[in-house]
Structure formats: C-alpha cells, structure tokens
Amino acid sequence: MPDIAFANGVFLPLAEATVSVEDRGYQFGDGVYELLRVYGGVPLRPLDHLARLERSARALGIALPFDTARWTSVHTYSVTLVPTVVITVRALTPPAESLYTDGTDIVTVPDLRWSRCDIKSLNLLANVLAKQQARNAGAFEAVFVRDGFVLEGATSNVMAVHRGSLVTPPEGPLLLSGVTRHLTLQLAREAGISIAERPLTEAELYTAAEVLLTGTTIEILPVGRINGRCIGEGFPGPITKELMARFRKLRA
C-alpha cells in the first residue's frame, strides 16, 4: 500500500506532502488531530472520530473547513482553506503478538499535562516525554497519575478489573474520550460484565485482577506488569480475553 497524504485539498505521495514553517500547528502546537484505523478498507467508528475532531477544534476556536459528509468522502476541493488540513494514510505495524499473550509492561509517571486533556490537540510534549520514559524503562506504555489517581496512558486509556467489575476513570477534562474506550465499554455491557466509570487510584492498579489498555492502534492490550510488579495471574485474564475476542469479531 502506498503512503498517501491529503494536504489542503490535494492528494499526493506522503513524502511530497509539506506544511509551511509559518503554520501555527508547527510553531505553537495550535492544532488538533485524529487517528483512526482501517480494517480491510473499512474505517472503524469514523463518525466517533469525526465527532471528537469537531469537539477538539471547537474548544480551540478552529473552524473546520469540511462538514462530516466531506470528511467522509474526501475528493477535490476548490474552497479556500484557512486551517491547514493534512490526512495521511499508512500501513500499520501492529504491536508484537507476544504483548497480547504475555501481557505488556507499563510504568506510572506524574501527569505534567494541562487541564484540557480531553482536547485531542497537537500539544503532546508531556506524552512524548512519558512515552520515552516508558521505553527507557523497557516498558510499552506510561500511565499518567495525578494526585494518586490514574488517568490514562500516554497514547491509550486504562481499565482495571476489580471484584469482577471493569473499572475505568470517568470521562472529563483530564483524559481523552477514547473511541476504543467507548467501544470496549459497549462490548463489556453486551457481555454482561459490570462496569464502573469512577476514579481509579494507583494503589488499585497493583491489586487489580486484570489491567488493560485500549487504543486505536493497540485495540485491547493486557497489562502484565506495572513498574515491574506482576498483575493478576496469567495473561490475558478472563475478562480481557472475552473483550479481546469480541473486539476481534467486530473488526472481522
């Protein structure tokens, strides 16, 4: 599959796509973005991603140049665009299968971000640093902790299983409303698994029967170790396994 870009109304090879050095997104991080995954040519939950793009743009006062119909059927445009619009399409290298069978390593990090993490903006410096800290520790993901409460990963949402219930921090300004988070909760409801969207402490992560991450590129990923401490018994745990199976059916 060729790497494709759509930059301000024009399709071109990704390597030829450019953005002006004067672009505010480049200079100030004044921009928003989305990332969605395509299975066999069919995007998963495109309208949820577009709705979040609109919410993020509205929060920053950016007028999106396309309405939903146009975003979903990108052709050629004659309109004069004000915000820089870039879409890229690339083949995904999914995480190694062993992460799904053995459970992944995560580390906890203090949350250095601002108080509008629900906006999917280009300001990802704290996320980048946290992810690097995870990599340096040989872990896959860093999970942000603020005042003792777990919020989300640098590029994922976090869930834990406590007394048979799937617990995840509630949506709000301190975390991104993940499309995969939403989908996973929906799958859990369909499976009759009880759900608690409530604050989750760091201490509760260590005593959880199962911990999992959700995200567009990772789907549902079981966590095996947090800061080197083992979680639960064996991977993936029964609830994670059930959710992973349901997710795989959904995209088949």
Residues that bind ligand PLP (CB under 6 A): 35, 127, 152, 155-157, 176, 178-181, 214-216
Minimum distance from residue 216 beta carbon to ligand PLP (Å):
3
Beta-sheet strands, E only, within the chain:
4-7, 10-13, 38-39, 42-43, 86-89, 104-110, 141-146, 149-153, 157-162, 165-168, 194-197, 200-201, 210-215, 219-226, 229-230
* Cβ nearer to ligand PLP, comparing 12 with 50: 50
Check residue 216 and give left, alpha or beta (phi > 0: left; psi -120 to 50: alpha). alpha
* Cβ nearer to ligand PLP, comparing 44 with 231: 44
Minimum distance from residue 80 beta carbon to ligand PLP (Å):
31
Could you confirm whether 131 is annotated as catalytic?
no
* Cβ nearer to ligand PLP, comparing 235 with 247: 247
Minimum distance from residue 143 beta carbon to ligand PLP (Å):
10
Minimum distance from residue 218 beta carbon to ligand PLP (Å):
8
Of 141, 171, 135, the residue nearest 156 (C-alpha):
141
Minimum distance from residue 37 beta carbon to ligand PLP (Å):
8
**3-state helix vs strand vs coil in the chain, percent to 5:** 30, 30, 40
Among the listed residues 120, 131, 241, 249, the single catalytic one is 120
* Cβ nearer to ligand PLP, comparing 45 with 162: 45
Sign of CA dihedral 173, 178, 179, 185: negative
DSSP assignment string, 157-226: EEEEEETTEEEEPPPBTTB---HHHHHHHHHHHHTT-EEEES-EEHHHHHH-SEEEEEETTTEEEEEEEE
What's the length of the chain?
A: 252
- 104-120 residues labelled b (16+ CB within 10 A) or e (exposed): bbbbbbebebeeebbbb
* Cβ nearer to ligand PLP, comparing 144 with 235: 144
Minimum distance from residue 96 beta carbon to ligand PLP (Å):
19
* Cβ nearer to ligand PLP, comparing 7 with 122: 122
Catalytic residues: 120
